[in-house]
Amino acid sequence: MSAKGRVPRVIVGRRPLPPDSTRALTIHSTRTRFVAPLKRVAVVQWHSSRLSWQRVGLILALGPMSKIKAILLSSLGAIAVQPFVFLAWLGVPMFLHGEASQLPDVVSFSPMTALLAIPFVVLIGIPAALLLAHYGKLRWLPLALIGFIAAALPVAVLVPGTDPGFSSGGNWHGRRVDFIVNGDPTIYGWLNHIESTIYFGLHGFIGATVFYWVWRRSMGPNNSFKPKPLRGSA
């Protein structure tokens, strides 16, 4: 052992013996390296007159590979669902109002929503899910509300209105209306702003819902990030 290294704390405990074994020993060694905690779990057994060493687990920062896989699959699901939300929100009303000629443009733009969702999932969704899981609070509703707020807030702060003399209008559920007149938002301008905020919030809400559903399918009901101790270990 190097003189510079820190002596690891070793805990020795007993575990039930297999029928064909005469002695079993469990060793837990914990050390700190590069600030990240490192935990090694090993089992030494005397089996059929031979000494065998089996590494049971190696847990780093994010945890076992099963949890890392669940994070990746959940994130992909939350991103992949965004084009379908976009098509349902814009494509279906266009079709119902006889504006099917614009559907190709909506379909061609829909993949962009998946690209726009990537930073939200990576920077907000994954950290929020990890934090909730760490404290054992990962549930559908809290995660879905976080997704809704994260997606809606950037749109909500962009209130309608601009410089005096500017006017704009658009289609409001089949009607041609004015949204801004001489720089001031009309009632339709505010209604359109509220609707847009809710629409973007639904992107985050549905994305977080898919994230949670895939997570539960991957990890099962026990979604805690706390490692399980070995049976019979001290």
- Three-class SS of 153-165: HHHHCCCCCCCCC
Let me know whether 53 and 75 are in one domain: no
Let me know whether 55 and 151 are in one domain: no
Per-residue confidence band for 90, with pLDDT thresholds at 50, 70 and 90? confident
In the listed set 60, 87, 102, which residue is the last one of a domain according to the structure? 60
pLDDT in tens, 155-192: 999 988 777 878 888 878 778 899 999 889 999 999 99
Question: Does residue 12 surpass a pLDDT of 60?
Answer: no
Let me know whether 183 and 122 are in one domain: yes
User: How far is 157 from 200, CA to CA, in rounded Å?
Assistant: 13
User: How far is 153 from 200, CA to CA, in rounded Å?
Assistant: 9
User: How far is 24 from 45, CA to CA, in rounded Å?
Assistant: 4
Per-residue confidence band for 98, with pLDDT thresholds at 50, 70 and 90? low
Residue 189 lies in a domain: yes
Let me know whether 49 and 121 are in one domain: no
Residue 232 lies in a domain: no
% pLDDT > 90, the chain: 41
Section 49-71 average pLDDT: 58
Give the up-direction half-sphere exposure of residue 175: CA atoms within 13 A in the CB hemisphere. 7
Section 88-106 average pLDDT: 76
Q: Give the residue numbers spanning the domain of 25.
A: 9-60
Q: What is the pLDDT of residue 60?
A: 46
What is the pLDDT of the chain when averaged over all its residues? 75
Let me know whether 73 and 189 are in one domain: yes
Per-residue confidence band for 10, with pLDDT thresholds at 50, 70 and 90? very low
Residue 224 lies in a domain: no
C-alpha distances in Å from residue 181, one per residue of 162, 165, 166, 185: 10, 8, 7, 6
Let me know whether 177 and 102 are in one domain: yes
Provide the β-strand partners of residue 76.
none
User: Structural domain tally of the chain?
Assistant: 2
Question: Does residue 121 surpass a pLDDT of 50?
Answer: yes
Widest distance between CA atoms in the chain? 93
Let me know whether 100 and 152 are in one domain: yes
DSSP output for 16-45: PPPTTEEEEEEEEEEEEETTEEEEEEEEEE
Let me know whether 150 and 84 are in one domain: yes
Q: What is the pLDDT of residue 16?
A: 53
Let me know whether 46 and 113 are in one domain: no
First-to-last C-alpha distance (Å) of the chain: 25
12: phi > 0 → left, psi -120 to 50 → alpha, else beta; which? beta
Let me know whether 125 and 40 are in one domain: no
Task: Find out whether 185 and 193 touch, Cβ atoms under 8 Å.
Answer: yes
Residue 142 lies in a domain: yes
Residue 231 lies in a domain: no
87 against 40, higher pLDDT: 87
Residue 72 lies in a domain: yes
Specify the range with the lowest mean pLDDT, choosing from 136-140, 175-179, 195-199.
175-179
User: How far is 102 from 110, CA to CA, in rounded Å?
Assistant: 13
Let me know whether 35 and 99 are in one domain: no
Per-residue confidence band for 63, with pLDDT thresholds at 50, 70 and 90? low
Strands of the 21-33 sheet, one edge to the other:
9-13, 21-33, 36-47, 50-60
